[in-house]
Copies of this chain bind each other. A is one copy, B any other.
């Protein structure tokens, strides 16, 4: 299993370098559990969904507390057949979740969102879940959408994606549960995620 993300942070301020460097300090507690490599477009983070989503959440929450409008984009992937197995990505939740019926997986996902820490930062999130290598991939996606609608973070459906709004803790937990519980354990599942905070646009 290979799990990770390409993550980019976009502060809409002339001091974007300062905001990015300050945000990166939030990754310190996770560096021993993630492989992290940065280039001029994005930062690769490889590891289990626990530290992976916590790190992305804390990176974004840190910068979302500042006054600047900031967005984060992540291309998340698990089980891509072109990637090598990596022990750092081992995830028991992922392996066990798939033996359960859909309603039980939805209930466990909801319980995880309810247990999420409250970070005190309200954010907007937009994401798309892609399940590959399956004839009936939309069944998984619709099952996931049903969960998301009960998560407490659901804002609205849009073409090609779903909008969330809520505390950064619950919002990122909702996306993590979507990533973990709604495609085969050994399947190829990806998420295209955008988070936004402090936008001057009317909401």
Chain A count of residues within 8 A CB distance of the other chain: 57
A190 pairs with B12, CB closer than 8 A: no
Query: Copy number of this protein in the oligomer?
Result: 2
* Residues in B neighbouring A130, C-beta threshold 8 A: 130, 132, 190
The B-contacting residues of A in range 1-37, CB under 8 angstroms, are: 2, 4-6, 8, 10-17
B81 pairs with A40, CB closer than 8 A: no
A70 closest partner in B (C-beta): B10
Looking at the complex, which one of B10, B39, B77, B134 makes contact with A71 (CB distance below 8 Å)? Answer: B10
Question: Quick one: given A6-B161, A11-B12, A137-B133, are A194 and B42 in contact (CB under 8 Å)?
Answer: yes
* Residues in B neighbouring A69, C-beta threshold 8 A: 16
A5 closest partner in B (C-beta): B160
A138 pairs with B201, CB closer than 8 A: no
Most chain B C-beta atoms within 10 Å of own C-beta, residue among A39, A132, A159 = A159
Question: Quick one: given A40-B199, A158-B6, are A75 and B128 in contact (CB under 8 Å)?
Answer: yes
Q: Is the interface of A mostly helix, strand, loop or mixed?
A: mixed
* Residues in B neighbouring A141, C-beta threshold 8 A: 82
A192 pairs with B11, CB closer than 8 A: no
Interface check A196, CB cutoff 8 A:
yes
* Residues in B neighbouring A5, C-beta threshold 8 A: 160
- Cα distance, A11 to B12, chains bound together (Å): 6
Other A-B pairs beyond A4-B159, A133-B134, 4, CB < 8 Å: A6-B159, A40-B199, A41-B199, A132-B132
A selection of 7 A-B contacts at a CB cut-off of 8 Å is A5-B160, A6-B158, A12-B14, A40-B203, A44-B158, A46-B159, A133-B137
